Amino acid sequence: MPLVGEDWLLERMLLLIPIIMSLSVHEWAHAWSAAQLGDDTAARSGRLTLNPLEHMDPVGTLLLPLLGVPFGWAKPVPVNPGRFDRRVSLRAGIMITAGAGPFSNLVLAFAATVALGLLARFAPAVHEGGGALPRLLEMLVFLNLILAVFNLLPIPPLDGGRIADGLVPDGLRPAWDAFASAAPLLLGVALVLPLLLGVSVFEWPLAAAQLWLAAVFEAIAG
């Protein structure tokens, strides 16, 4: 999704703002879900907050967006599964807290799509004018879909890897552990393949999500 304008500072800000917002909500969701299950580790560390200053990583949250890279990361939220209460199993608790982050990104993408639809319906001149507000909302949609799809890859230490770990039967645990030991290499392959071969593991899920959100937009915009 192209950025707008010829002013590089405006372009970088239009990228930096949604990156900071999306990553802060992502990490807060991990902390909040853990707190609901009885683990106050993140809360005691000051991470149960939407304040982006508590979540920022100098490189992943600030430097990359300022360089124009439409991606990033924040400081991981500390979660101690041993502090979960007995309402859920240990595996289920880990899966819930891991999934909360990508789920929050999908919620943000949906909310931004709804806002775009309302803008197109009630303020079409603003929506079609190519100004900062519609482009900011479009960036929110795009970035949050990227963050959700990437983090749901079933490769440790991504959130999807922790979810997959909770689903692996005991009988397949040795095979999964062997797979997890090669996770850094596999993650690197997943990131490099689009550059080398034009093949992306993100293409299908991103396309499916974008089609669904496009339908939501059309239904609201009328």
Query: Which amino acid is residue 132, in one-letter code?
Result: A
For residues 162 and 116, is the Cβ–Cβ distance under 8 A? Answer: no
Residues with a known catalytic role: 27
Within 123-172, residue ranges assigned H as helices are 124-128, 132-151, 159-167
Buried b / exposed e along 78-117 (16+ C-beta atoms within 10 A) = ebeeeebeeeeeeeebbbbbbbbbbbbbbebbbebbbbbb
74 vs 76: CA distance, rounded Å: 6
